[in-house]
Amino acid sequence: MVVVALLAPPVLGLMVCTGQGERRRGSRAVTAVAAGLFFPLAWVAWYVRDEYHLAPVRAPSPEL
């Protein structure tokens, strides 16, 4: 019971912050709530999405 009481505030804070972050990324309110509830999965999705979009796309250099 004590462990739950100690862990609840940080977990709830992470859920709220994750939901707000998803909302700022342009998602609808329903998606933001789902991201808050499943915040570890949302972090993985953000990482994969950011890595995919931020990776430079380079054409292969011609062999000279």
| pLDDT higher than threshold 60 for residue 54 | no
Distance, in Å, from the CA atom of 64 to the CA atom of 55, rounded to the nearest integer, reads 26
**Domain enclosing residue 40, as ranges:** 2-54
| pLDDT higher than threshold 70 for residue 56 | no
Q: Is 59 inside a domain boundary?
A: no
Distance, in Å, from the CA atom of 41 to the CA atom of 44, rounded to the nearest integer, reads 5
| pLDDT higher than threshold 80 for residue 5 | yes
Cα-based distances in Å from 12 to 5, 18, 55: 11, 10, 32
Long-range contacts formed by 51-57: CB under 8 A, 24+ apart: none
Higher pLDDT, 47 or 64: 47
Number of independent structural domains in the chain: 1
Reported pTM: 0.60
| Least trusted range by pLDDT, from 18-22, 23-27, 54-58 | 54-58
Q: Is 14 inside a domain boundary?
A: yes
